């Protein structure tokens, strides 16, 4: 089977260790030919290029900047990416007949690109719903449903519905995600929507005591403190103001250290907080190479998740899987609509609190300092292997598409 995968996520190879590269690797391992289309954003100053490695083909398309940039720049690039992808597919993949097209949100502007290949090759189509846009942008104040921004909202909402209509099946990250989609888009047939969660190729990354000590010394992390780590995007969806309030209030907790690693449009706000207040138990770092980041996570004690309280859509951050793979418990600070916190607690893998409850955060921090973190970490590891492996994701997609 020939599989086409469309994403605005940056893919360099099947060994990137991301939710997308791991899923595609599972397809290749099961005997399929996979072709991924990924952006060469303008910031990288690279042209469109196509390469192959065995049964994996990678088409890197020159686009505008799609991630970690201001809203206007991102919006223009998102509007243009559909045409850019179609043009590149016509030029480099015209001789390949695709049986299945898989694509992820964001963005929702892949609709015409998906439909082009679907009609050309009579292909099946599968949407991995990782982002419910434009409603998520309305929730955090980036878009509005009236005025000039209301025009943009209606345009993107139309694109969103078009993408759902072109999709033969839609894979949601969680049960709350699935229920939200069906409740707010009643025209979508119930049987078209299923749960296909974020997944990875699970690796045991455990380090011995000496290795953990060396990593903590390398980054200036106190060796005997309970270290809470957040790694990932630092943008509006994370509720940066709440994060700063939590770090400020947690100064009173003894022998606790907070490590924040990431980048994004709101990074500067945390940087300003750290520079102004100079908390002695906080280290803010820019993103580091993934191989180093994975080891750093294992050398920490608790993984942090932050979601802005205003979200009405049920997000399910993929960084949860990184913490589970590291065998550390999780503290999820979430909005009332997501079920990621409920999953964490049901798995016995940590605690959750609402992301407008600073005192709840501090209380959870105190509990995680004295609880059996090793047991929680093992529960997290077990839950990961039972529910979130790339092989399971592959089976869900192919089984329900009736593709062999």
Q: Where are the domains of the chain?
A: 2-201+389-401, 209-386
Query: Which residue did the predictor score with more confidence, 209 or 43?
Result: 209
Residue range 216-228: mean pLDDT, rounded: 93
pLDDT band at 257 (very low <50, low <70, confident <90, very high): very high
CATH of domain 209-386: 3.40.50.2000
| CA distances in angstroms from 135 to 181, 356, 359, listed in the order given | 11, 20, 29
Residue range 194-222: mean pLDDT, rounded: 93
pLDDT band at 404 (very low <50, low <70, confident <90, very high): very low
Residue range 313-338: mean pLDDT, rounded: 95
What is the model's pLDDT at position 10? 86
d(CA 103, CA 277): 43
Residue that is written with structure tokens 């921090």 in the block: 365
363-381: per-residue pLDDT in tens? Answer: 999 999 999 999 999 999 9
CB 66 within 8 A of CB 77: yes
What is the model's pLDDT at position 263? 87
Mean pLDDT is lowest, of 8-12, 42-46, 168-172, 258-262, for 42-46
Given a cut of 90, whether residue 137 has pLDDT beyond it is no
Does residue 195 sit in helix, strand or coil? strand
The two beta strands, 56-63 and 100-105, are: unpaired
Mean pLDDT is lowest, of 64-68, 337-341, 364-368, for 64-68
Does residue 76 sit in helix, strand or coil? helix
Residue that is written with structure tokens 């469109």 in the block: 48
Would you give the DSSP letter of residue 202? -
Give the chain's mean pLDDT: 91
Given a cut of 80, whether residue 15 has pLDDT beyond it is yes
The reply to whether 209-386 shares the fold of 2-201+389-401 is yes
pLDDT band at 46 (very low <50, low <70, confident <90, very high): confident
Does residue 169 sit in helix, strand or coil? strand
Percent of the chain with pLDDT over 70: 98
CB 347 within 8 A of CB 383: yes
Given a cut of 80, whether residue 403 has pLDDT beyond it is no
CATH of domain 2-201+389-401: 3.40.50.2000
Query: Which residue did the predictor score with more confidence, 66 or 170?
Result: 170
């Amino acid at each position: 089977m020939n599989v086409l995968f469309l994403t605005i996520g940056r893919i360099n190879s099947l060994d990137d260790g991301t939710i997308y590269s791991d899923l595609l690797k599972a397809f290749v391992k099961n005997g399929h030919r996979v072709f991924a289309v990924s952006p060469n954003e303008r910031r990288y100053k690279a042209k469109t290029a196509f390469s192959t490695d065995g049964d994996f083909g990678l088409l890197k398309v020159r686009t505008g900047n799609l991630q970690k940039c201001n809203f206007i720049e991102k919006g223009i690039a998102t509007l243009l990416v559909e045409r850019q992808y179609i043009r590149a597919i016509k030029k480099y993949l015209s001789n390949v007949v695709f049986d299945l097209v898989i694509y992820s949100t964001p963005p929702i502007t892949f609709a015409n690109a998906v439909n082009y290949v679907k009609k050309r090759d009579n292909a099946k189509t599968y949407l991995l719903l990782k982002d419910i846009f434009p409603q998520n942008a309305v929730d955090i104040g980036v878009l509005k449903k009236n005025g000039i921004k209301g025009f943009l909202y209606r345009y993107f909402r139309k694109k969103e519905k078009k993408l759902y209509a072109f999709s033969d099946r839609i894979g949601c990250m969680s049960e709350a995600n699935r229920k939200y989609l069906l409740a707010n888009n009643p025209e979508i047939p119930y049987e078209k929507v299923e749960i296909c969660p974020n997944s990875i190729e699970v690796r045991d990354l455990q380090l011995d005591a000496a290795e953990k000590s060396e990593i903590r010394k390398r980054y200036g992390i106190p060796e005997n403190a309970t270290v809470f780590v957040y790694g990932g995007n630092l943008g509006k969806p994370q509720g940066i103001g709440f994060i700063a309030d939590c770090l400020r209030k947690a100064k009173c907790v003894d022998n606790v250290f907070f490590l924040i690693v990431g980048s994004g449009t709101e990074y500067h706000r945390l940087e300003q907080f750290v520079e102004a207040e100079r908390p002695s138990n906080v280290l803010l770092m820019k993103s580091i190479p993934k191989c180093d980041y994975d080891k750093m996570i294992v050398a920490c004690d608790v993984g942090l998740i932050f979601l802005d309280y205003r979200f009405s859509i049920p997000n399910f951050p993929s960084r949860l899987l990184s913490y589970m793979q590291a065998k550390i418990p999780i503290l999820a600070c979430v909005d009332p609509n997501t079920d990621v916190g409920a999953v964490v607690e049901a798995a016995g893998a940590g605690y959750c609190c609402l992301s407008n409850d600073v005192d709840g955060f501090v209380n959870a921090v105190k509990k995680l300092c004295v609880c059996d973190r090793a047991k929680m970490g093992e529960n997290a590891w077990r839950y990961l292997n039972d529910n979130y492996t790339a092989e399971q994701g592959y089976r869900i997609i192919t089984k329900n598409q009736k593709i062999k």
